[in-house]
Amino acid sequence: MNYLITGGSGFIGSHLVEHLLKNGHSVINIDNFDDFYDYRIKIRNTLESTDNKSEFEFTNKENDVCRLVSLTESAQYKLHYLDIRDKDALNAIFNAYKIDLVIHLAALAGVRPSIERPLDYEAVNIRGTQNLWELCKEFAVKKFICASSSSVYGNNEKVPFSETDNVDKPISPYAATKKACEVLGHVYHHLYHIDMMQLRFFTVYGPRQRPDLAIHKFTKLISDGQEIPFYGDGSTARDYTFIDDIIDGILKSIRYLENNDNVYEILNLGESEVVTLSEMLSELEKALDKTANKKMLPMQPGDVLKTNADITKAKTLIDYKPTTNFQNGIKKFVEWFLGNRINNS
């Protein structure tokens, strides 16, 4: 199969690329190496996901990404350095390849930054996604997976969160863009018969995790003996999901789409195990064998109090079975972090 992946050099995307390539599929990766965090991390992700052992010396972003494109080029893997807001550039990609299925992971991420840059989030997360759907319509690409987020649930009082819950009251621009894409996705399914699965990811963590996310950030700060920003009283809670389980859910969603027609489904992909901020920090302290120095701060606007996935539908529809509990997942992450300190600088 020939898969187009947006954001294939990111945290989740690079793991997905790695799995698909190892299973003999062809991958077209579109990534703009956004400056949201250090582009060098994405270059390392790309080299690792394509099993490329080449030594890489960094100079500047433009030159480095262009060298990466050349370095990873193969019959099975193509990397394209472009932005999903650029419809003309996307059109050239769709025109050049026969695409069987799109897995759309690219987005501007983060709740707090979206409050500061709401128009950027609309342009990338909504307009960029519509560019892809318009091209799927034009080039008759009928299978599409879209990354949504647990943030669409906001401060939902009913737990665990179910796909049938009302999500009309998001509390951040980021969450609103994800909800908008779910709604617009149904339009393209209804009008143009694009089979689609919208996957609501619940706080994904593990090797290659973005450095701005709490587990990675806390691990680095504790390891370096620095203060960690600790928002609220520690009772906020998340349904942390290990990267291997998320990839399993995506791969099973791909198979479901390929074997079924007239599909529009929204699925929670979580662990269904809720961990408080205090518990998360305690597990990191144990894994690192160090005590955190906490800087107590108030809750931040847009942050949700708790996430908890009801994964009954995913279990039933795609046989989704998360297997990594939080304690083991943290151990695996910390082992990766300590073995890859150059990636965390």
Instruction: Supply the DSSP symbol for 80.
Output: E
Nearest-angstrom CA–CA distance, 345 and 341: 7
State the catalytic residue, choosing from 174, 188, 240, 320. 174
- Rounded CA-CA distance 163/185 in Å is 15
Q: Given strand 77-81, what is the order of strands in its sheet?
A: 77-81, 26-31, 2-6, 101-104, 143-149, 195-201, 264-269
Among 274, 307, 302, 279, smallest CA distance to 292 is for 279
* Residue 174 falls in the annotated catalytic set: yes
Dump strand ranges (E) for the chain.
2-6, 26-31, 77-81, 101-104, 143-149, 195-201, 204-205, 227-231, 237-239, 241-242, 264-269, 274-276, 293-297
Of 123, 93, 64, 119, the residue nearest 5 (C-alpha): 93
Half-sphere exposure of 51 (CA within 13 A, CB side): 8
Active-site annotation, residues: 174
